[in-house]
Amino acid sequence: MAGGLLQIAEPGESNVKEACAGRVVGIDLGTTNSLVATVRDGNPECLAVDDAGGRLLPSVVEYLPGSVIVGRQAFLDAATRPRDTIVSVKRFMGRGPEELAGTETARRWTPYRFASKTGPVVRFLVANSEREVTPVEVSAEILKTLRARAEEALGGELDGVVITVPAYFDDGQRQATKDAGRLAGLDVLRLLNEPTAAALAYGLNKKSEGTFAVYDLGGGTFDISILKLTGGVFEVKSTGGDTALGGDDFDRALADLVVKRLAITVDDAAEQRALLDACRAAKHRLTDEPSAVVELRGRATITREDFDEAVAPILQRTFAPCRRALKDAGLDPAKPILDGVILVGGATRTPAVRAFVERLFQRPPLADIDPDQVVALGAAVQADLLAGAGPREDVLLLDVIPLSLGLEMMGGVVEKIIPRNSTIPTGAKQTFTTYADDQTGFDLHVLQGERETVDQCRSLARFQLKGLPPGPAGMARLEVTFLVDADGILHVTAREETTGKESSIDVKPSYGLSDEEVERMLLESYQFAESDVKTRLLVEARVEADRIINATRAALASDGHLLAEGGRPPIDAALETLARTRAGSDHRAIVAASEALDHASQDFAQRRMDDGLRRAVAGRRIGDVERKLE
């Protein structure tokens, strides 16, 4: 019989050796390239994804009749099969058909065919239009390839994976990423925000404290996060970004410049793909060289100065989110005091980007780790920690939600349940009641955004709670619970307390917020803050006025005989005043008229209460009533 060593642990200690703790990896599912990493002997490292030992897997998927190609070969085939080869699919994750390609420049350089009747999600027509695929399915093909390479390198099936997402991904985009992982056969342990992953890769958790900015400009998304480290706890103080901004836009800007220089038009899909690839190669050369040549029916020489000028408007789009993130974190945007600025994403190799970041944050950025690999390495560290094989020192990661979550109230106003920049995982409860008599259910409308009215926020989901016993308005008690899990995904539960009836929903919108909507929502929340509050106060005053008017009229109709002599005219006058004032736009006047009606009807309300008590105890003995009250 073969011999072996027993592993012995002290009481309270884990008896699982690091080598036996499971095969877990971190995956950076990137717009341009994707990577997979693991921790070996306490050090994170990216695994090879091709036979040549390369660490970067191009995030490109080619669909042929009967087969799928992922990675380098698909990238090479993109110029000859542009409509059947999906590049930069991350930009389509969690988006709807009306958001297909974002900006006018993006639409001009998008060669894909889309299904005419797509429903709520984007569908690409591929394999000579014989097949329809969604962004989730395309992403799953990339993840399957990374999974196969990781299992080959680690010698067995994976036990879990951490997948990184932009911090500014909303609920729909996060859910789409998680669905892609499941479709690829992966056990997704956690969705980790990319800036937090970068901080882990830099080992910032080994410092005692500090405030850091993470500037993440990848191929298709931009994130800015302000992280504060205190006693081993990473807290994301604020986050911002643009889910449709990145190095791809640099390529398109160069393509526009080349087309202008050569005085040509490029409408053919294959030629478009060839030009974009040539511009990407030129962009890479311009990182180290003063000029580069792009050839397409002619030769165009692009200098670094030309490039810097072309991409300046794109870089400027990152300015406002950065200043807002600094302000939200309690820092002075004009003189931010930071302990470090971390660069993430391949686009940050560009000298123009690094110079822009240094001017913006007034300090040279950190770039010790390959910006292409830093996120995957951090994801591996987090996976290692979740698997229980990491270092013993505790690292707590506190991320935040990017936009407020709430419910629609009467009159079309929004009641915010969880405000933006709340640390996740998080939860909140709030109790509501019925508005009308004999109401037997609730329609719940979940919203996301910063404005005060429903029409200015984004609808996430609707669900109902039915079957409540009819009763007077205000008697039912509905407790609504919002829970945002560690992946940033929302779960809503509604429970009527007196009956115990319950309904719940996992908010999984089929597509998320566009970058323009996110930017608009935040800017307008500041711009229209005062007018929004006035609108909300007016709506709430009108809703309360309607309730009082209806309740008073119903009471007069049923119990008018209880009025004192001469008691009716003051109430009728107050009713008429409130009905007239309610139609105006002065919420203070409506509140005052409501209070006047309440004052005028106080004696009547007391008489109704006394009459109700008399009828309740009529014919009953005092002892029975006392026992009932006990």
Structural contact between residues 415 and 543, judged by C-beta atoms closer than 8 angstroms: no
Residue of 62, 90, 249, 372 with catalytic role:
90
Residue of 28, 170, 242, 532 with catalytic role:
28
Query: Residue 141: how many CA atoms within 13 Å on its side-chain side?
Result: 22
Give the distance, in angstroms, between the CA of residue 291 and the centroid of all CA atoms in the same chain.
39
Peptide bond into 58 cis (omega under 30): no
Structural contact between residues 239 and 402, judged by C-beta atoms closer than 8 angstroms: yes
Residue of 62, 84, 99, 194 with catalytic role:
194
Quote the strand ranges of 12-59, DSSP E. 24-28, 33-40, 43-46, 57-58
Cα end-to-end distance, the chain, whole Å? 76
Cα separation, 430 vs 482, whole angstroms = 9
Structural contact between residues 221 and 248, judged by C-beta atoms closer than 8 angstroms: no
Amino acid (1-letter code) at residue 203: G
Spatial strand order of the sheet with 502-506 comes to 426-432, 478-484, 490-496, 502-506
Residue of 170, 179, 216, 450 with catalytic role:
216
Amino acid (1-letter code) at residue 1: M
| Among 426, 429, 439, 425, residue whose Cα is nearest residue 407 | 429
Neighbouring residues of 616: CB distance < 8 A, sequence distance ≥ 6: none
Amino acid (1-letter code) at residue 472: P
Q: Which two tokens stand for residue 372?
A: 């292409």
Cα separation, 375 vs 353, whole angstroms = 18
Three-class secondary structure assignment of 368-395: CCCCCCHHHHHHHHHHHHHCCCCCCCCC
Q: Which two tokens stand for residue 113?
A: 């065919």
Give the distance, in angstroms, between the CA of residue 599 and the centroid of all CA atoms in the same chain.
48
194 is catalytic: yes
> If you count DSSP H runs as helices and E runs as strands, how many of each does the chain have, helices first?
17, 27
> Any idea what the Cα angle at residue 120 is, between residues 114 and 124, rounded to 5°?
20
Residue found by looking up tokens 């009763």 in the block: 471
Helix or strand holding residue 582 (H, E):
helix 568-582
Question: Is the backbone of residue 90 left (phi > 0), alpha (psi -120 to 50) or beta?
Answer: alpha
Three-state secondary-structure class, residue 84: coil
90 is catalytic: yes
- Give me the active site residues, please: 28, 90, 194, 216
